[in-house]
Structure 1
């Protein structure tokens, strides 16, 4: 019962996040984060399609979630590539993105059927890469004047949500792959992580200052 409530709540929270992002679009429309609003509406629409195909049409819907994972991780890597200042960090993030896309493709061709199986190993790898990427961002923040007003930075709140979600999702994917008897409990954890992620996004959109200018890269 509790898991079902969380399942239904996720769609409404994701729609709410997209609406809040639309309301506060003026704060970040002059930066690469302007594409984040498209990303959030895509997530909400994808969740609605997934829910409809599962509950009404009673068909396998894993393919749309697997496509979402490819798009989501690729987009997030591009966000940090655009905002990181140090070129060595940017280069590493670019390599992360390329490796992920290649591994995702090869895994789908030879190992996992993306129409019937949830992506596992590419998921775990991308989550680890993204945690490292966010760590790069936090290091840059700590070494800049932004640290004095970090809670007013939209990307900071996005990063908090992303890192918390990905730290929690790795054991979820591993458990789902190898311990199917824990499916219900781990799915509850996954949905709680999604709620935490979206709450961080919403706080960021509401509390952040308007972003004036994106900084250039450093050596």
Structure 2
């Protein structure tokens, strides 16, 4: 990695930590609401990234498998729950989308080795499903009678962060093998991946500070 990428990578990690810390600070305000699970999620992400960084120093494990089979699926399924089951109040939609995503691991077992950096099929499908939910959330917010107070809506910041990171980096991970052959393009998109990650977790922090959604 270049010096810039290395620095951005460090900032992204600590942005995850800051986001988890901020959520814990505001936990007492939301401990009786479903938003408490967002706190658990952010802590989970920071701990997972910490294991990804230093876990190999304490125990032997397959880092690629850890992310592909555990960390990334948890991310997608959590957001499916947050959008479908909570924001849209469609629990059945959550189970359907989660099932479709999990079923996509079956063909991946034949297409990829467990040491592959990213299972592009699963990630692409996971992001496409998430993109549909993101668009639905934007539509819901635009048609909300309280649209003028969008800055008080916690989902506004979460949706914006998810758009920048997951949707914005979809082409990068989908066509990673092809993009890797063109180093300049790879470096530009990888830089965007890191910067958008930092922005997403900062927006998650802001959602706790400014967001006042009551449900």
How far, CA to CA, are the matches of 1:190 and 1:85 in structure 2?
28
1:3-14 pair list within 5 angstroms: 3-14=5-16
Q: How much has 1:158 moved relative to structure 2?
A: 0.8
For residues 41 and 97 of structure 1, do their structure 2 counterparts lie closer, same or farther at Cα, with a shift above 3 Å needed? same
Q: Which moved more, 1:189-198 or 1:92-101?
A: 92-101
- Report whether the alignment pairs 1:19 with 2:21: yes
How does 1:53-132 map onto structure 2 within 5 Å? 53=55, 61-66=63-68, 67-85=70-88, 87=90, 91-103=92-104, 105-132=105-132
Other-structure match for 1:217: none
Q: Which residue of 2 aligns with 1:203?
A: 206
CA RMSD of aligned residues (A): 2.4
- The size of the alignment, in residue pairs, is 209
Q: Which runs of 5+ in 1 are unaligned?
A: 215-219
1-side partners of 2:139 and 2:94: how far apart? 14
State TM-score, norm by structure 2. Answer: 0.86
The answer for the alignment partner of 2:38 in structure 1 is 36
Q: CA deviation at 1:141?
A: 2.2
Q: Which moved more, 1:171-180 or 1:194-203?
A: 171-180
- On the 8 A contact 2:85/2:93 being kept in 1, the answer is no
User: Given that residues 157 and 204 in structure 1 are in contact (C-alpha distance below 8 angstroms), is that contact kept between their aligned partners in structure 2?
Assistant: yes
Q: Tell me how far apart the structure 2 counterparts of residues 179 and 60 of structure 1 sit (CA, whole Å).
A: 25
Q: In the TM superposition, what whole-angstrom CA distance separates every residue of 1:124-178 from its partner, at most 9, and x where no partner exists?
A: 1111111110221222222222312111111221111012212211121134222
CA gap of 1:94–1:147, structure 2 versus 1, over 3 A, is farther
- After TM superposition, the structure 1 = structure 2 runs for residues 127-166 of structure 1, keeping only pairs within 5 Å, are 127-166=127-166
Normalization by structure 1: what TM-score?
Answer: 0.84
When residues 122 and 141 of structure 1 are mapped into structure 2, their CA distance, relative to the original with a 3 A threshold, is: same
Instruction: Give how far 1:123 is off.
Output: 0.5
Alignment of 1:157-176 (within 5 A): 157-176=157-176
Deviation at 1:94, TM superposition (A): 3.6
C-alpha contact (below 8 Å) 2:108/2:122 kept by paired residues: no
State the shift of 1:65 in Å.
1.8
Instruction: Find the partner of 1:187 among 175, 185, 190.
Output: 190
